[in-house]
């Protein structure tokens, strides 16, 4: 099973080649550099779905926050087990 996770773009590194464009995203406090090749329209502040180090699509902010809250709720529940 694969899992794609929402993240907020906090910085974009521009290059002459769109396929080499990268960005730093924030996963609820954890930051990681990823490829933005599949989402050339993405800008700083956007939310994206990230899978295997690649942003694969843009995500509406309210949907992203709802998904992140669900992950937080799941983690809190697992902590009670």
Tell me how far apart the alpha carbons of residues 58 and 73 are, in angstroms, rounded to a whole number. Answer: 23
How much is the pTM?
A: 0.85
Task: Report the alpha-carbon distance of residue 19 to residue 37 in Å, rounded.
Answer: 5
The CATH classification number of 5-79 equals 2.30.30.140
The pLDDT of residue 2 is 67
Mean pLDDT per 10-residue interval, the chain, length 81 residues: 85 89 94 96 96 95 89 88 84
Q: Where are the domains of the chain?
A: 5-79
Quote the tokens at residue 47.
């939310």
Residue that has been written with the tokens 């050339």 in this structure: 40
Neighbours of 65 (CB within 10 A): 14
């Amino acid at each position: 099973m694969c899992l794609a996770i929402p993240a907020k773009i906090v910085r974009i590194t521009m290059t002459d080649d769109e396929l080499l464009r990268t960005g730093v995203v924030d996963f609820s406090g954890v930051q990681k550099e990823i490829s933005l090749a599949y989402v050339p329209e993405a800008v700083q502040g956007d939310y994206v779905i990230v899978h295997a180090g690649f942003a694969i699509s843009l995500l509406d902010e309210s949907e992203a926050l709802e998904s992140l809250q669900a992950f937080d709720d799941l983690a809190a529940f697992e902590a009670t087990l």
